[in-house]
Structure 1
Amino acid sequence: MQETEAAKAILSDRILSLAESQTIAMAKKARELAAQGLDVINLSFGEPDFQTPQYIKDAAKQAIDEGFTFYTPVAGYPELRQEIVKKFKRDNNLDYAPENIVVSTGAKQSIANAILCLTNPGDEVIIFSPYWVSYEEIVKLAEGVPVPVMGRLENDYKVTAEQLEKAITSNTKVVMYSSPCNPTGAVFDEAELMEIARVLEKHPQIYVIADEIYEYINFEGKHFSLANIDFIRDRVVTVNGFSKGYAMTGWRVGYLAANREIAAACDKMQSQVTSGTCSISQKAAAAALKGGNASALEMTEAYRRRRDLVLSLMNEIPGFKTYLPNGAFYIFPDVSHYFGKSFEGHTIASAQDLSMFILTDANVAVVSGEAFGAPQCIRFSFATSDDKLTEALRRIKISLAKLQ
């Protein structure tokens, strides 16, 4: 969105400096073209194409019938917080109490709460890059200083402990990352996180926000949480939610686990912004956890098949530099091969230009890597059907062949 001169005269510097979410912006453009009658395949949005499991929907209906239509405790219903405690023990071997848990309106709010509670103006926040689009903007809202550290393609875009150590300064307050990662699908294993923890052990003033929203969508086996490492656990804020693993994007329920001081601060912050999360959604979320993660694992097998399909098709496209994503439902190829190429007098100067060319010429929506801190890349979501993925990659291959 480009603000008008009139808007600039009345709006705050805070909002004027805030970037619009590029994933949402591209999805909006795709919808606009679809409304014009074009057959647009949308690979821009990070949303499961599966329906929320029926047992979760049934729990929501029951909650309505039983009258759960009133304000909820700011940090969430005690029942849901207790189920989250059980989940951490069952899936992650982590011991928390309900007082360590704050339920929010999506994992995005959980991240924002943590950043706003931990970051003072001028504090540096190291962000493992490529990163989810909102990380940097949330840090800016808190008047912190984002410090992206770029992982290398040959290491599946994962930042190393050595890179982290070089980025730390006396002003570093927070380190933030996701695993499995949006946008790359990279998964940090126990050995890699132990090396990172050893670096952080030397800097007791630094806290970590570990975004684990894609925990269940993991193609390589057991998920490992940084909070499992005893000597750093109390400095880790673990963020998770229901959108990805349980296909509950529209229900808007996320949560964090942290030491009691941080959790209490997030409760206080949330009390002045949104108060408690939707009562019906919370009852549905509690039912989701009680039902275990079998449905999530079924979806993950579908994502694994789609990943392999997309990789096989993408490797037939000249100039795409790919890798093997081990989690989430994205692939993030380096597409810089096409920079400087042209078609009908229009030159591709950036990933944003290439994304728009793919949208207008192939009618496939993807997201430029610039929004994720990697301007040489484009993010493809494979959270859609095999047929759509096959057709999308067919169109893209034809369109890119036009660039000379």
Structure 2
Amino acid sequence: MTDVLDELQWRGLIAQHTDIDALRSALSEGPLTFYCGFDPTAPSLHHGHLVAVKLMRHLQLAGHHPLALVGGATGLIGDPRPVGERTMNSKDVVGEWANSLKGQLENLLDFEGQNPARIVNNLDWTSELSAIDLLRDLGKHFRMGTMLSKDIVARRLESEDGISYTEFSYQILQANDYLELFRRYGCTLEVGGNDQWGNLVGGMDLIRKIEGQSVHVLTNPLITKADGSKFGKSEGGAIWLNPEMLSPYKFYQFWLNTADEDVIRMLKVFTFRSREEIEELEQQSIERPQAREAQRVLASDVTSWVHGEQATERVIQASRALFGGEDLGDLDGATLRDAVDELPSAEAAVGTPLVELFVRAGLEKGIGAARRTASSGGLNINNAKVTDAAGVLDGTDVLPGGIVLLRKGKKNLAVVRVKE
């Protein structure tokens, strides 16, 4: 069971840790229980959360028992941000978001077999904690100097906005989570993002002070690109795991667009491919970078993990279909709409001259030019060549979702959305 630490280090999934030798010894003594917390500050997890979940999954595969904590209580408070106070969402909203996160975590971890994961919610014990209990039983173990010296708190205190007592108290509630899970489940390891180091250590110290026991903390790094910038964000914002907030097609495209200098590290972090497989993909990337095989594997594996293999197959089929590799008519309307969402578009009705469609969509400057291109075989509708420059749009040309795909040459794409 100690091999998992070596595996995590090779994959770049360890940032900071408490006594690594003590943790290695604890892992070698048999399965231990560990936890990671996820606050419902939005309706969905995003790609950054996958790093912590991936670390959890490796520990689970090594035989250790995962607790996935959904912060129904801490989500009402909000972990301090580097700048400005968080918006205080209502209890109903936070409750809905907590249920949403629970459903996503159930798809990412294994909840069956001999070593199933378990979902816990810190609202279960925090809601029973009175103000007197908080101050007497917990508050007395925290020193103001230590709390004020934490990086995020210190930065907020120096800012114009300062920090409220509400967010300042967050670290006490998170520390109490570790204490409660230690008492209830024998949890002796907390994992989380490296930006949570201070909060994680606070829980470890609280257990030592109250229970007189030593426990462990391990953080994963915040993933950056080769140039040091943050890995993430699409044009529309965060890389959400909820398909209603970011379609599987766009999710897949995000990973497919990973830069050559980053892709091998991302394969280590975000996939379960073996060392041998990743080393082979690295060699392929050196020899044939234009094939982008490593990016394709990364996009396929992560999308399958998050959205399932069927959704990934539809996305890949749609990607191929846009450039003539698949039959567009086999795609469902939702996937097709997602695939063409960012293409230049225009509206038209059945009966519109075909060459006019290319002018409306901006692929041709005028009707005459469109006719000349069509005559030379350079225009395609739904991957079929336009053979009649005088033809009109027929109802049978309209794909699911009211879409007609236009292509000029090999790479110039646009879409026509047909009015009903």
Judging by fraction of residues, say which structure has more helix. 2
Query: For the pair shown, which has the larger CA radius of gyration, 1 or 2?
Result: 2
Identify whether the pair has TM-score above 0.5, normalized to the shorter chain: no
Relative contact order, CA 8 A, sep 6+: which one is greater? 1
TM-score, normalization by structure 2: 0.25
